[in-house]
Structures are given as structure tokens and as C-alpha cells.
Structure 1
């Protein structure tokens, strides 16, 4: 492949060499450069790819894509452009043969709800015969292959690599989470989204290496709606109009309010031993009843989003209703049946904001007791521990403090910090450092009408201790506990 084929949709300046240079691979990690590679120098938050220019030239790179001056031998082609991250995105698309143009791509952005909504949409579309790829916080799903995720929205090269693999196995559509960071860093630049979705906006991801302020956060969320054909938005979110200011797409809305194109009416909670859900009537652009096996008002919004999208794929109401009932998301209010008397679930809530939202949702079901088992990750701000302790102490009837991912810290030190937060409340608690033993205590002491939530680990299947990840899946721990207690 010639370099100019990768550059065909970009503006650039040739500093030295020829844009007709033959290249073998497209690389932005200096460690992976080989003979004939084109290396894209990215100015990152941690390191600057321009620093490795001479090193990659010595490794055999044929060409470098740069934003600033580099010192390399004259036989190495140097191409300069305004933004190499943007360049990498469009070059990646070209490198893999523009696979995005062979797929219907649904992008979901928002502070909460992205993960659950992606799985709901995938479930419904697959029910009517679509072959759907998925890229998100938990994993990328390409047919039977599941690849654990490092970022909500991967680097652009990885996205197009996944798209190419999806096309190869016959996928016709993709549903993907699109983070504000991914938009800001041009990871999704040039992707022709069929549908863009806005779930909601909260004050999150503001700070060093993320967004400088809330205005920047809103602006970046809005970028998705400048590169999609149809935007579907939560009309009830107070920042909806700000996010869609400057949108270049057709816009539809969903929500609980009358102004929404697709409304949820008569929303009510559904509760029975071992089961929590929510039901409502869909009105507006469609008309039918829905029940979801995931509790809380936010489940109404997530499912409305999925309904709105699938309406544009011509999915019948009966199929939507059936598929929503079956949709499950690993580690997101994931019910695990352990008793006919009480309800147990696993959830990824791992900071004060998400834990408070979860516990407030569960309190709406008026459980006999709300039991919250949780820990906090090591090598993170101590404030998170105090805050999570205070939230659980205030909202749960019983907190079971245990270990999460201690990383390089001593688990007991983290537990002591959590206890400081709980101490600001009158909440009852027990501390059991070993997570399996903590789960065993929760199940063995479950009482009729209890709702027990295991918070913090969610979809994770490991525990990180002293730089090493050890296998630990809460579903496995629960099964082992039930066997030990003679309940299986």
C-alpha cells in the first residue's frame, strides 16, 4: 500500500521524502514499529510520540506523520498535519478499507446508561436476524469473540480493526459506546454514524487529563451529533439543548415528559422475591406495554432509547417487548438467584455518585433491609473511600465492608478509611476483609424481603493485588458459597 492512499482524505504537507512511499503497517506505538511502517506521532498526556522519531526511523519506519519538527534521516518520509490524532483516525479507516461504510453504526454518548443501552439494542436487533457487533466499556463483541476493554472508546486504529473483523464475519451493524474522551481525542473522527444517541449528562470526568470544565464536557458530547444522520436524545435532560446546539442531524426525543416524541407513561415498579423490575406504557411514535427485568427509573430511559433505535430498524413491537424482557447486562444490576426469600444482585457502582444512585433506586422498592457489600480500589483518592462509606452508611440498613482491588495498598488500610466515612453516619456495618467470606456472610444472613447488592466489581473477573490480577468472578464466588452453605 502506498502512503498517499492512507492520506487521501486528509490535508497535509510533505516535509521530506515522497507520499508515494510503500508502507507495510500503520503504527502509533513505537514498540510495534517494523520495517516499512508508517509511524504516527501522537502528543499524548503521558508521552509524546515525536520523542521516538529517530528510534522508529532506526527500526525501519518508512514514514512519519508529525505535528512538529523531527530530526530523522533524509530517506524517511515526513508528513506534517495539523492534528495527528485526527490523522490517525482517517488513516486507520483507509488502512482497513473503510469498513465503517459497510456497516450501520449506532453511537451512544452520555454520562450514564451507555453500557446497558448498547446491550439492549444488540439484543433486540439480533432477535430479528441482524448480526450486530459491539464496542463498549466491558468488552468488544465480534461474533463469538469477546475482547476485554481497556477504554470505553478504543483508539481509532483499534476501532477500524474491529469494524473490519465485523464486516469479515458478516455483521451488518454495530452498536458502540462513544465517550466524551473518545470524541475529544478524535477516536471516532470520520465514522459515518447512522444514529447518535444522547442518554444524559452529569458533572463527571472534569479534571486533569479529562475535561477542563463542564462546558468543554458538553461541547465534546455534542461532537457526535455533527457526524450522524439521526440524533436520538433524552428530552428530559436539562443539558439536552446545550449538547445539541450546532447539531447537523435530524433529531428525535424520548422521555417521561409530554414534549418527547417517544414517551413512557404509567411507570410503576415491579417487585417479588428474587426479582425487581419496572413496567410502563410506550406512547407517541409507538403504542404498547413494556416490562424490564432491571429496576429503576433509569431502566425506563435506557429501554426507551433502545425502543427508539429499533423502531428505525423496522423491528415489530412484539419483538421489542420480548427482547427487552430477555436483555441482561453483566455487572449492571445483574440479578443472581440465591433464595426465594430475598434478592441479590451484582453491580459495578464503584464511586459515591454511582453507589448513591444505585442505593436510592433500590430503596424505592421498600426492601425489608437494604444490604450493601462494597470496598474501594487502592491507589486512588482517599476521598472516594470516605464518600462511599458515608453514602452506604446513610442509605443502607447494613454495610458489609470488604476488599475490592487493593492494588499496592493494604486492604485493611482501605477498609479503615471507608469506616471513617461510615462513622459520619449512624449506619450499621460489619467488616470482612476477604470478599468471598463477606459474600458468604451476606447470603447466610439474608432475611425475607432483603435486597442485597454486591457493589464495585460488576463485570470484572479479577482482583488486582500488588500489580497482579488474580481470577475472581463474583458469580463463581456466589456458586461456591451456595455449595458450602448447602443451598445448591
Structure 2
């Protein structure tokens, strides 16, 4: 059992009352999980202030309290530690508690608005195919080599991160690929982790409900690169205007990739179709099963990262050609009549635009594009009219519907999307609140060779309304409807 002093190593302390020799069974930041001899870290969260639950944690058996403001009344026999930032303290403590597991493998973080899940998941697949033991921390799942665990956040809390990195150490994982969200960076969840490298994909409109301004959102992403050690690599997309901003204060080796600009790693799209695309990376051609400009960027980032991590270039190209699309990322289904249904996680204006522009580039012009799309509740409201505008401009018919309304009114969310539709596009728009009925309507309207895009939820297999989750899988539902209709 570790002592409080052991797990506080490297934490900036403002004040200490009591002994730091107290034994610590485990670390908790949820008072409901506290047991005997645990340390409770009181965090001032977005919705709840953990300081209100200090007494409850002590009653449950906590003998050590880490907090930003010491209680007015201190209890004898309890150790109190005051820190400037409890989020940061928790992360460093978690790393110490689990034996600094990130130091014992090569951890690569991927940040940006779009592409994080695809890049981390495909890097995991590529390194597995290359014969390594690999870990994955992603929006979709956590993988410790081949053992899968569920996940609820893009970047888990720091205790969860270090717990799974520790498990990876135990089974001999050599590489781990991790999505790093702006929320995770802002809440210091990656503090204390040692990264071998970081990748920046792109930056567009998202999470402004949390960060308030685009500049704050961008600067939060930059934290990952600012903290890289000198021996690490910082890989950035310089076709994105924010790509070089990420590099301004990093100590790491600066490496660039691009399709349109001069860069250390460059690619060209030679051919694009629904079955895949032909890319030229450096002097070599590569057939990829992933389509669209956005996936060309993803594949190039994967190639560059694998090269920087020491894999042989021709071997990387061979493995890239074998990679399959990630669930809910331009995942497509072809019906017996040749109707193409595409399910994509596009839940930001830029992602929706990228997917629809890719579809419109691939179509011959004789097909109709039906888009089913909604926006999540309790999230950035400012993007709703923008997404409504994009969907109605780039589709023949658009059906506005529910995504995960959470605690908001679905009809109100749809109204806010409708506000972005220009008068000339009114006739293209249908609004059907029930998502299943919206998908069914798109299937009924579609004819042979038409294209149905169902956007926003992607890999999610649930719909959340007022805290209740029901089973809901876009890909499964659209396939069932097209089969039932004999299309």
C-alpha cells in the first residue's frame, strides 16, 4: 500500500495539515466510491463541487483529503492537502499511484476536431498487423492489446487512463494510441503522462458551449504540444491554418504533413470512388479502402506517425492498404437495388460538409442525395443553423431529426437547424422528430442508385433523452428498412 507522500510526488502543494505518511488504499474523486483509507480529491466540476462532499467522504472512511480550499473545520487524524488545481493534482497522483505507466510504453496522442478516432483506431490496427502488442484509448473503445473495455468519454478521467496504461504495462504493450480531447486537456486529464508523440488533425467549429471562443478552443488543443518532451515528435497538418500554431511553443521535433502545401510528408489523391481511393504518398502509390479527402489526410497522418515510430516505409504502405474503415466513419451499405446508405459520425459543420462534398464528388449526377441529420442537445447551439445550411445546400433532400436530445426539446433543436436554411432550399427540407421514422422516410423516398447519408451518431448504438438511453443503431436500422422494402 502506498503512502500519501508517495502519490503526492510532483504535485504543487499550497498547504498541508496532518501527516503525509497516511496509507492510501485507492484514489477517489467521487464520494460515493470512497472506502476505508482512501484519499478523496475534491474537484470543482462543471456541475458539482466536490468540496461539498468532503464530510461524506470522511464518513465513508477517507483519511486523506486533497482540495483547492481547506474546510473551515479540520478533523483530527485526517490529513488535508491544499492544491491550486485539483484536476492537475488528481492526474499526477493517478500516475504516481499506478507507477508512471506511460513511461513504460510509447504513447501517442491525437487531437483535433475531426479524425481522432479514425487515426488512433487505424494506428492500433496497423501496429497489431505489424506484430506488436498495442493499446487504444478512443471514443469507441479501450483496448489493452486484444482485450476490449467500454468507454464513455473521448478522453477518460486521469484515474481511468492510468489504470488502463498500467494494465498495458502488465501485458507488455509497446505502443498506445490515444484520443486527446479539448475537454480532457482543459481538465488536466493528461497531466503527468509522458508522450512519445502527438498528432494534430484539423480545427473547426465545435465545443463552443464549453470553451466559449474559438481561440480558447484552439489554445486548449495546443496544450498537448506545449507539454511534449524534446525527444518526442509533434506531427501537424499544415493545410489547416491552425497547424503551425500548435508548434509555436513545443520542445519536440516538428514534423508536417499536407495534401496541398509543402510538408515533410505529402500525398496526392489520384483516384476516388465509393470502393476506395488511389493515393500517392511520396513516390509510392497506395490503394486505400477509405474514401474522401478527409481520409486521405488520415491515411497520411498514420503513415507519417508509423514512420516516425520506426516502421519500415514499404511495410507501412502494405499494411495501410489492408486497413478497414472504422465503425460509424463513412460506413456504407449497398442495397440490392444499388442504393448506397452511409452512416457517419459527422456532428460538426466541417465534418458534415466534408462528407457531403465527398459524396457529391463521387456521384455521377443522376442520383439523389438524401441526408438525415440532427444535432445533439445540451451542446454547442451555435453550430445548429450552420449544419442546417450545409445539409440543405449540399443535398437533394434533407430530413432534420433528433440526434441525442438529452435534456433539450427535440423540436426546438430542429427549429434552430431550420433557421440556417436559405429560402431557395425550403422545398428540400422535411422535419421528422422521430429518428427511426426519419430514416424510414429516407429509405421510402430513395430509388435505385440514390445515396442516403445518416449523419451525427455514427458508431453510437443508443439514443439519449432525459437521462434515458435506448438501443439505437443507425447502420442496423437503415439496413433493415432497405431489406424490408425490397430495395
Matches within 5 A, 1:76-475: 76-207=78-209, 210-225=210-225, 226-228=227-229, 229-257=232-260, 259-265=262-268, 267-271=269-273, 275-283=274-282, 287-311=283-307, 312-339=309-336, 341-367=338-364, 368-378=367-377, 385-407=384-406, 415=414, 418-419=417-418, 421-422=420-421, 424-426=423-425, 427-475=427-475
Structure 1 unmatched runs, 5+: none
CA distance, structure 2, for counterparts of residue 386 and residue 235 of structure 1: 29
Larger CA deviation: 313-322 vs 51-60 = 313-322
Shift of 1:186: 1.3
Q: Answer yes or no: is the 8 Å Cα contact 1:295–1:362 preserved in 2.
A: no
Aligned residues of 2:239 and 2:261 also touching (Cα < 8 A):
no
Distance 1:291 1:178, change over 3 A: same
Q: Classify the secondary structure of the residue corresponding to 2:24.
A: coil
Aligned residues: 478
TM-score, normalization: structure 2? Answer: 0.90
Instruction: Give the TM-score taking structure 1 as reference length.
Output: 0.89
Displacement of 1:376: 3.7
Q: Specify every segment of 5 or more residues in structure 2 that has no aligned partner in the other structure, as ranges.
A: none
Secondary structure at 1:193's aligned position in 2?
coil
- Distance in 2 of aligned mates of 1:23 and 1:391: 54
Provide the secondary structure at the position in 2 that maps to 1:141.
strand
Deviations 1:458-482 (A, max 9, x none): 1111122443211111232234224
Residue 414 of structure 1: how far off its partner (Å): 5.2
Contact 2:207 2:379 (8 Å CA) reproduced: no
Query: Contact conserved, 2:272 with 2:292, CA < 8 A, in 1?
Result: no
1:42-61 map, 5 Å? 42-61=43-62
Output one character per residue of 1:411-443: Cα deviation in whole Å (capped at 9) or x when no partner: 566556655554634242445554444434434
Q: CA deviation at 1:355?
A: 2.1
Q: Deviations along 1:111-158, whole A, 9 cap, x unmatched? A: 221111111211111111112211122222234444443321111111
Deviation at 1:75, TM superposition (A): 0.9
Structure 1 residues 402 and 216, CA gap change in structure 2 (3 angstroms): closer
| Cα deviations by residue, 1:10-53 (Å, 9 ceiling, x for unpaired) | 34355221111111111111121111111112222222222222
Q: Distance in 1 between matches of 2:213 and 2:405?
A: 30
Q: CA RMSD in A?
A: 2.6
Q: How far apart are the structure 2 equivalents of 1:20 and 1:365? A: 66
